[in-house]
């Protein structure tokens, strides 16, 4: 009996500790997302900066200990099991909502132009980043991984800026949106493949390699079949006032559907983000899209999203912050050039003149959620050190803050 009481006390203390950490994390999220909004920046940027500063003063490896000493040694470790698990659910829901928010019709209508822009942008960014990283680090595995992490464009930042200027209907804006969606998908697939092929257990073109390919191929066939079934069932389910009567049950089923596909993807050796993204993409072509977005957006963006973005800041290695900032600035220039050159050339090949091609190239500069998620997954796979993660975060922050200003200049000043 005594042991049971002691155990319960320990569990209560642990729960209160987790609760206090969540209070602090969400408190900082509120402040910094509010500041980001005031300066007309995306909330994600506020979460990232807030997480970095929180890690700087209360992180498990902070060098600035006056606050932790004042609080009796209290720290917040982003790798704590509960925080890590909740942040992973955040990754799944963020990618699910990204898939759900994809304008499939728009993507289909401009698939040729957007694909050329996206592919050339990804190739140019990867080539330039690998070259720059080999010069500074010399580790090919890290260079390739960083190149893939920085290959994805943030749809949110570019689209948000263009929408604010009333330019979202322009053909250049449509191509930017489509290309950003496509290169996000490319980025997710590439980071998944890196996790497989750079795994120490991977032994080249043996039976296991072909088994991996069969699993990947099988997963995409399964996703395609499920997508077809979902599309065909759409009319029947929604047409009989089924949604109104079973509103909550449908939303729970949607969450289960998202988690099942994420689980299957991870189980088959493909990253869970692929399953989550395609679960959202499937539902984006159904009548459930608007209702699911309306009801689950808050869950993803207000509860799990901030926790994920803040937790990365808490795990960053800030012991060599000066070096990270210098390298971050260098790779920001490289990442920006990769998109301007690659996407600009792709736009030129697609029939745009130099001025419009430059607009498209500049619109593809920002890195955001997908790069952040890819970087954290790569670190989790052991492909990147935490010092590399710091560089990636700095690139995301700098490209996200510079792009809106550049877009406003080229779109307003003709």
**DSSP symbols for 183-194:** HHHHHHHHHHHH
- Domain match, 369 and 295 both: yes
User: Is 75 contained in some domain?
Assistant: no
Is the same domain home to 26 and 165? no
Is there a domain that residue 76 lies in?
no
The answer to whether the beta carbons of residues 296 and 95 sit under 8 Å apart is no
Q: Are residues 171 and 63 in the same domain?
A: no
pLDDT of the residue at 241: 62
61 with 86, same domain? no
- Alpha-carbon distances, residue 113 vs 107, 174, 175, 340, 347 (angstroms): 10, 10, 7, 16, 7
Quote the pLDDT of residue 217: 79
Q: Which of 70, 94, 114 is the last residue of a domain?
A: 70
pLDDT of residue 406: 81
pLDDT of 112 reads 87
Residues 42 and 154 in one domain: no
pLDDT score of 202? 59
Residues 322 and 354 in one domain: yes
**SS3 call for 387:** helix
Let me know whether 176 and 291 are in one domain.
yes
Query: Residues in the chain, how many?
Result: 414
Supply the pLDDT for residue 334.
94
CA distances, 231 to each of 97, 167, 235, 284, 334 (Å): 18, 32, 8, 10, 42
Q: Range of 57's domain? A: 2-70
What CATH number did the domain enclosing 143 receive? Answer: 1.20.1530.20
pLDDT along the chain (414 residues), means of 10: 60 76 90 87 80 82 74 75 84 83 75 90 94 84 90 74 66 81 81 74 61 76 82 65 72 90 82 82 83 83 83 70 84 94 93 88 85 81 82 85 78 63
- Tell me what pLDDT residue 349 has: 92
User: What's the total number of domains in the chain?
Assistant: 2
Which pLDDT score is estimated for 174? 77
357: in domain: yes
- Assigned domain for 30 exists: yes
| H helical segments located in 240-368 | 242-245, 247-267, 272-283, 289-298, 305-315, 321-349, 354-363
Same domain, 172 and 55: no
Tell me which of 70, 97, 122 is where a domain ends: 70
- 57 with 90, same domain: the answer is no
Concatenate the DSSP letters of all residues of 14-51 into one string.
Answer: HHHHHHHHHHHHHHHHHHHHHHHHHTT--HHHHHHHHH
Backbone phi, psi, residue 369, to 5°: -55, -45
pLDDT at residue 319, as a whole number: 65
Instruction: Mark whether 56 and 131 lie in a shared domain.
Output: no
Q: Using an 8 Å Cβ cutoff, are 252 and 197 in contact?
A: no
If you search the block for the tokens 């032994």, which residue do you land on?
A: 203
Give yes or no: residues 114 and 231 share one domain. yes
């Amino acid at each position: 009996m005594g042991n049971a009481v002691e155990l319960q006390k320990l569990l209560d203390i642990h729960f209160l500790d987790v609760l206090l950490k969540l209070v602090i994390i969400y408190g900082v999220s509120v402040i910094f997302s509010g500041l980001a909004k005031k300066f007309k920046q995306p909330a994600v940027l506020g979460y990232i900066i807030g997480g970095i500063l929180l890690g700087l003063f209360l992180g498990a490896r902070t060098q600035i200990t006056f606050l932790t000493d004042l609080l009796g040694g209290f720290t917040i470790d982003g790798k704590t099991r509960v925080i890590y698990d909740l942040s992973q659910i955040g990754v799944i829901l963020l990618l699910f909502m990204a898939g759900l928010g994809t304008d499939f019709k728009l993507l289909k209508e401009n698939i040729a132009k957007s694909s050329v822009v996206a592919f050339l942008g990804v190739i140019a960014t990867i080539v330039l980043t690998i070259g720059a990283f080999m010069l500074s680090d010399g580790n090919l595995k890290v260079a390739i991984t960083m190149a893939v992490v920085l290959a994805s464009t943030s749809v949110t930042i570019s689209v948000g800026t263009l929408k604010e200027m009333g330019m979202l209907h322009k053909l250049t804006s449509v191509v930017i949106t489509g290309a950003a969606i496509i290169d996000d998908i490319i980025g997710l697939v590439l980071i998944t493949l890196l996790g497989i092929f750079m795994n120490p257990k991977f032994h080249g073109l043996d039976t296991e390699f072909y088994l991996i390919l069969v699993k990947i191929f099988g997963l995409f066939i399964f996703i395609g079949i499920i997508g077809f079934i979902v599309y065909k069932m759409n009319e029947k389910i929604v047409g009989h006032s089924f949604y109104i009567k079973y509103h909550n049950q449908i939303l729970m089923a949607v969450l289960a559907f998202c988690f099942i596909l994420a689980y299957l993807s991870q189980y088959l050796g493909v990253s869970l983000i692929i399953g989550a993204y395609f679960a959202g993409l499937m539902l984006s072509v159904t009548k459930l899209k608007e209702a699911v977005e309306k009801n689950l957006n808050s869950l993803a963006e207000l509860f799990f999203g901030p926790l994920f973005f803040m937790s990365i800041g808490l795990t960053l290695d800030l012991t060599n912050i000066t070096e990270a900032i210098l390298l971050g600035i260098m790779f920001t220039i490289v990442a920006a050039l990769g998109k301007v050159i690659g996407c600009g050339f792709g736009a030129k090949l697609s029939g745009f003149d130099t001025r419009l091609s430059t607009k498209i190239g500049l619109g593809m500069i920002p890195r955001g959620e997908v790069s952040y998620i890819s970087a954290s997954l790569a670190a989790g796979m052991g492909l990147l050190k935490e010092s590399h993660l710091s560089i990636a975060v700095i690139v995301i922050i700098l490209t996200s803050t510079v792009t809106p200003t550049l877009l406003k200049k080229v779109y307003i000043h003709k």
